Amino acid sequence: MTRAETDTGAEVVAEIIRSFPTLVPYLREWLERQGYDTDEQRPHPVLERFADATTEAISKKDEVLARGYLALVESFLTSDDQELRALLDVAYCENLMWDLQDKELKHWGYSLFPPEVRRLYTDMWGSP
């Protein structure tokens, strides 16, 4: 990972924490369980866990929370920063709903995806 990727990733993680401070214990507990230090500034695992949080919100049909998470990621994807887009593609979009088995729920969740998240998700998984 380059210094620019590290800086960009740290900025994204900081914005997630600023926007959703109640996720901090959820992130830290998972990082610790996975054997990482609990420094939530590690962008890849934090973004993977943020994708899990989004999937959990979708599985609970918590539309407000799911849309909030997705909107934040979409705001990052409006950047022309290709390293940032690649980070979000691999660490977040590829992990969205990967283990959600309920097809109707998956379709419902997919309907919430804003355009850029939808494009990256579809490039990886196709439309549900």
Cβ count near 106 (within 10 Å): 19
Note the pLDDT of residue 39. Answer: 59
d(CA 112, CA 66): 8
**Residue spans per domain, the chain:** 3-125
CB 19 within 8 A of CB 46: no
d(CA 57, CA 82): 28
Q: Using pLDDT thresholds of 50, 70 and 90, give the confidence band for residue 79.
A: confident
**pTM reported for the whole predicted model:** 0.89
Average pLDDT, the chain: 89
Q: 117: which 2 tokens?
A: 């998240």
Note the pLDDT of residue 33. Answer: 85
Closest CA to 61 of 104, 3, 6: 104
Dihedral in degrees, nearest 10, Cα atoms 23, 27, 24, 115: -40
**Mean pLDDT calculated for residue range 97-120:** 96
Q: 5: which 2 tokens?
A: 């990727």
Could you give the C-alpha distances from 121 to 38, 63, 115, in angstroms and in order? 28, 18, 10
Note the pLDDT of residue 6. Answer: 45
Q: How many residues does the chain have?
A: 128
Q: 56: which 2 tokens?
A: 């959990």
Q: Using pLDDT thresholds of 50, 70 and 90, give the confidence band for residue 8.
A: confident
Note the pLDDT of residue 38. Answer: 60
